Amino acid sequence: MDLSNNNLYGELSRTWGECHNLTYLSLSSNNISGSIPPELGESTQLRKLDLSDNHLVGEIPKELMKLNFLIYLNLSHNELSGELPNEIGSLSELDHLDISYNNLSGPVPKEVGKSSKLLYLNLGNNRFNGTIPTQIGDLISLNILLELSHNDLTGGIPSEIGSLQNLENLNLSHNMLSGHIPFSFEEMESLLSIDVSYNQLEGRIPTNKAFQNLSFDAFKNNKDLCGNVSGLQACDSSGTSKSNAMDKHKVVIIIILPLLGVIFLILASVGVFFIFYRKKMDVKEDQEEIQKDLFCVWNYDGSIVYEDIIEATENFSPRHCIGTGGYGSVYKAELSTGQVVAVKKLHPLEDCSGPGSKAFLEEISALSEVCHRNIVRLYGFCLHARHSFIISEYLERGNLSKVLSDIEEAVKLDWVRRVNIIKGVANAFSYLHHDCSPPIVHRDI
């Protein structure tokens, strides 16, 4: 039934719920006021419901989420308030959802990711707050539009949005989003239009065709975006704009100079110590003393020391061990800051390739320069007379072999995700072999 554009006024009747065979109802572009009657949820055969462009107020009734056959829902351009019901995820057949231009607030419910058949999702021009739920990345059928603009969303842009390989139009503008545009956006080759303006984003923009063809308007009024787009600052080697690089360099110099002074004093003290005892020490003892209590960290909180790791792992207790390999055992460690890291305690080796050797230190130094979204990040290492270990990023769900060996987990890992994993591994190898300086041969995987 199509009653749109008829200048109808008044409130919606509760008797609409008695139309049990009604499949299509459009009352858009009228002057209807009042609230949406919950009884409308009893029209269980509805497949299309369009109440847009009216003066409806109040909350979206949870009863509408019982319309299991609903394919199209448009409540845009009204004065609806309150939160979007969590039950939105129960509309499993829904392919078009438009609730834009209302006064809806609260967080975007993560359950929206369960509406896996969505092709079009427009939540723009409301007052949604909080972070963008990562579950939006589960909407792999989404291809027409993802619209979240003109809200009060905060936090970073989830990298999971990069999984929407078929998406053509993306608008995240006019929010308070921060951080970098995820590297995963490089793989969104179907994008035709993107707008991330009026946020607090920084860093390098993706280099794929969709981003490079955009105008400056799609990026303006952000914190410090850079890239090869007219109107944006060019990026320096670290991925920040050159206009901001000088200020950062000044800060770095202020931090580094005192550190260099401390390091010089330590090295001088160590040098005097070794000169005094060098006649009584053989080559092996020299190496062990040089290594003693050496702790090196790249891009990580320098307050983490040897004792923190020992305490977090309860002196490398077996109950914290999550895996063992040829070079060492891996432990899960929750630090005093609350952050969880993986600690690989190295086995002592008899040959010259073990911890403390020149080859080992050169390899660790090379790994510290690796920065890629598909490669586990190395935070640092510790060489100690009792224990030597490497600190790296902790991955919550373990390795691929573990997931595939678990029947329940393997079912969840569908072929789309498996293909994406293979692509991620290939991208990591390509980076190691061709983009690293110097290139790295991966050997043991």
Cβ(171)–Cβ(146) below 8 Å: yes
Cβ(85)–Cβ(106) below 8 Å: no
For residues 255 and 239, give the distance between their C-alpha atoms in angstroms, rounded to a whole number. Answer: 20
Q: What does the angle CA 84 – CA 87 – CA 91 come to, to the nearest 5 degrees?
A: 105
Helix (H) or strand (E) holding 323: strand 321-324
Half-sphere exposure of 370 (CA within 13 A, CB side): 27
For residues 188 and 214, give the distance between their C-alpha atoms in angstroms, rounded to a whole number. Answer: 14
For residues 101 and 104, give the distance between their C-alpha atoms in angstroms, rounded to a whole number. Answer: 9
For residues 176 and 156, give the distance between their C-alpha atoms in angstroms, rounded to a whole number. Answer: 9
Annotated catalytic, 308? no
**Three-class SS string for 42-107?**
HCCCCCEEECCCCEEEECCCHHHHHCCCCCEEECCCCEEEECCCHHHHHCCCCCEEECCCCEEEEE
Contacts of 377 (CB under 8 A, 6+ apart): 371, 392, 393
Cβ(77)–Cβ(100) below 8 Å: yes
In this structure, the chain runs to a length of: 445
Where helices occur in 278-406 by DSSP H, the ranges are 283-291, 306-312, 358-368, 400-405
Task: Tell me if 250 is assigned to a ligand binding site.
Answer: no
For residues 190 and 140, give the distance between their C-alpha atoms in angstroms, rounded to a whole number. Answer: 13
User: Which residue in 50, 293, 414, 444 is the catalytic one?
Assistant: 444
For residues 180 and 201, give the distance between their C-alpha atoms in angstroms, rounded to a whole number. Answer: 6
- The structure tokens listed for 66 are 């019982």
For residues 374 and 80, give the distance between their C-alpha atoms in angstroms, rounded to a whole number. Answer: 42
The CA–CA distances, whole Å, from 287 to 263, 291, 297, 389, 427 equal 19, 6, 20, 17, 38
Contacts of 192 (CB under 8 A, 6+ apart): 168, 169, 210
Q: Residues at the annotated binding site for ATP?
A: 345
Q: Residues at the annotated binding site?
A: 345
Catalytic residues: 444
